[in-house]
Structure 1
Amino acid sequence: MALFSRSRRLPDPLRRSLDLRADAILASAPLVDGRWAVSARRALHLVGEEGAVRTPWADVDRGSLDAATSTLTVHWVSGARTELALDPDADAWDFAQSFRERVQQSVVHVEHVSVPGARGPVRVALRRDEYGDLFTQVIGDGTVDLGDAAVSRAVAAAEAHVRAEAGLAP
């Protein structure tokens, strides 16, 4: 019943400021800083009085939700992180679920490759961009040295394998 719902709707002026490109909003949640996080089919949007930022889902590596603090940490494929403090008085479950589903939808296949000198494995991901086209992404931590010939060969071989499995050109 709407009368007792804690969820709030994205304000119309903010909705109109989004660059939806014929996209559809799936869920939204207010943030404690006054902005809103918006999950659409093709992209994640952060919108506030200062404007909107649109990021395709393929640029999001993963997210982690700290339920105790209502903070969603967005891990970008670049290695950067953004903490989104969700309004604890709002029901953000739909947004968190949609965020998870959209990131997973963009990932088709992942292979993990151990490379010399890195703290952890490199992930070679086959992903779907916002238009449905497939492409590969190589994601590693800051210790991966692509200048090392052995590392470069291992990553290139893994990427070629992932692309071949999907029927894509090397």
Structure 2
Amino acid sequence: MFSRRRQLTPAARRAVPLAGGERHLAAAELADGGHAVATTAGLAVLTDDVAPRLALRRPWCDVDRAAFDPERSVLTVEWVDAEPDLHLRLTDPTATNLPAALHERVLWSVLLAETVDVPGGRVRVAVRRRLDGSLFSQALAEEGVDLARPDVADVVNATESNLRGACGLPL
């Protein structure tokens, strides 16, 4: 039986250098002529297929959330920082497992998470994992939440301490 999954071209593979132990997991052709590539370490976006150039590369722990819209064939990635969302229009979503690979790797990077209500909104506190296995904590506030407010900081710090303690990280 043959697969409809397309492989990266050799030039595209070279445009996404791999660190020790890192592997390519999935790739998708994009409507703009580039490629999106999932590796064990993160997400990479390449410009056109003729002379691919690395346009973006971010580790999985930088992804806040991602969603795939099958009707529009668009994969949207939201980042943990202030960077604008990334919208990737796939040319043929049936020819790739990129959405599934992205979902799996983001889930892999989140060890524990809890969302807490605070004045002004909600904060998601998580313990995340890097490719090398090291752990760190992260607090992501909704727009309108002031993490510097003492009453907000108290709730976030207590939640972070609980999660870090549950993972064996220093408080």
TM-score normalized by the length of structure 1: 0.90
Would the alpha carbon gap of residues 122 and 32 (structure 1) be closer, same or farther in structure 2, given more than 3 Å must change? same
Code of the residue aligned with 1:40 in structure 2: it is T
| 1:28 Cα deviation from its structure 2 partner | 0.6
Alpha-carbon distance in structure 2 between the residues aligned to 1:91 and 1:140 = 36
Code of the residue aligned with 1:134 in structure 2: it is L
| 1:50 Cα deviation from its structure 2 partner | 5.9
Give the aligned partner of residue 82 of structure 1: 86
**Contact map agreement 2:73 2:90 (CA 8 A) in 1:** yes
| 1:10 Cα deviation from its structure 2 partner | 1.1
| 1:61 Cα deviation from its structure 2 partner | 1.2
Alpha-carbon distance in structure 2 between the residues aligned to 1:6 and 1:19 = 25
Mapping of 1:1-170 within 5 angstroms?
1-2=1-2, 5-22=3-20, 23-48=22-47, 49=51, 51-52=53-54, 53-78=56-81, 80-88=84-92, 91-92=95-96, 94-118=97-121, 121-170=122-171
Structure 1: runs of 5+ lacking an equivalent: none
Would the alpha carbon gap of residues 148 and 13 (structure 1) be closer, same or farther in structure 2, given more than 3 Å must change? same
Structure 2: runs of 5+ lacking an equivalent: none
Question: Number of aligned pairs?
Answer: 165
Alpha-carbon distance in structure 1 between the residues aligned to 2:17 and 2:92 = 27
Alpha-carbon distance in structure 2 between the residues aligned to 1:164 and 1:143 = 28
**Contact map agreement 1:36 1:46 (CA 8 A) in 2:** yes
CA RMSD of aligned residues (A): 1.6
Code of the residue aligned with 2:27 in structure 1: it is S
1:18-47: CA deviation from partner (whole Å, max 9, x where unpaired): 131121001111110111111111111111
Code of the residue aligned with 1:35 in structure 2: it is G
**Contact map agreement 1:29 1:90 (CA 8 A) in 2:** no
